[in-house]
Structure 1
Amino acid sequence: MQETQAIRSLAALAQEARLRAFRALVVAGPEGLTPSTLAEQLGIAANTLSFHLKELTNAGLITQERQGRNLVYRASFDTMNALLGYLTENCCHGAACSPAPAASCNC
């Protein structure tokens, strides 16, 4: 993944409704979800959700497919994995990232 694509993906996810929608689509797996199902699950108005889905699609994080009268949105696992790989390679120098040790408390 190129830096510009990573930035575009991270920017798209840096908004609560989009992050929630992306997570719901990841959980839904290859089956995907229709916008109406997604809007109901997330409690987001359809027109607002449409804007967020467009942003996620433009970032390459989700795809859409027409099935009859419905659109079905799916997470792009290839893009998600490429972003995780980019972050690991470029932010952790290729090593597994581990959290900083917790400070001990003498309370």
Structure 2
Amino acid sequence: MDKLSALSAFGALSQETRLDVFRLLIRAGEAGMLAGEIAEALDVRQNTMSANLSVLLSAGLVKNTREGRAIRYFADTDGLRGLLGFLLQDCCGGRPDLCGPLIEDIACKC
């Protein structure tokens, strides 16, 4: 991920509702959630949710599929991987052995 893409992702996550949506979709996993379900779970109007989902989609943090008239959203793990990789690419002065515990700690917080 390049700097501009990372800034777009950070910008998308810097708003409370969008951060809540992204974390909710991370928890939903491979099943994802319908847009209406997300709006209901977070008590947000559907038109407001649609705008927030659009920002997350443009930032590469979510993806979607159409199911008839509904749209199901998923956390884009490739986008998340790219963002985390961008943050950690220079971790520990190029000594990956020092980053291991940090990465394991992040990955194991289930």
* TM > 0.5: yes
Query: What one-letter code is carried by the residue in structure 1 that aligns with 2:43?
Result: G
- How high is the TM-score relative to the length of structure 1? 0.84
Q: Which is helix-richer, 1 or 2? A: 2
RMSD after superposition: 1.9
Match in the other structure for 1:46: 46
Q: Larger C-alpha radius of gyration, 1 or 2?
A: 1
Q: Distance in 1 between matches of 2:100 and 2:17?
A: 27
Moved over 3 A (4+): 90-95
Query: What one-letter code is carried by the residue in structure 2 that aligns with 1:13?
Result: L
Residues paired across the two proteins, number: 99
Q: Distance in 1 between matches of 2:100 and 2:12?
A: 23
Contact 2:6 2:86 in 1 (8 A): yes
Q: Distance in 2 between matches of 1:92 and 1:19?
A: 27
- How high is the TM-score relative to the length of structure 2? 0.82
- Deviation per CA, 1:17-53: give whole Å up to 9, x if none: 0000000011111111011100111111111111100
Contact 2:63 2:76 in 1 (8 A): yes
* Match status 1:96 vs 2:99: yes
Change (3 A) 1:30 1:49: same
Report how far residue 10 of structure 1 moved: 0.7
- Deviation per CA, 1:61-101: give whole Å up to 9, x if none: 101110122100111001101101110114654552989xx
Report how far residue 15 of structure 1 moved: 0.5
Match in the other structure for 1:6: 6
Match in the other structure for 1:37: 37
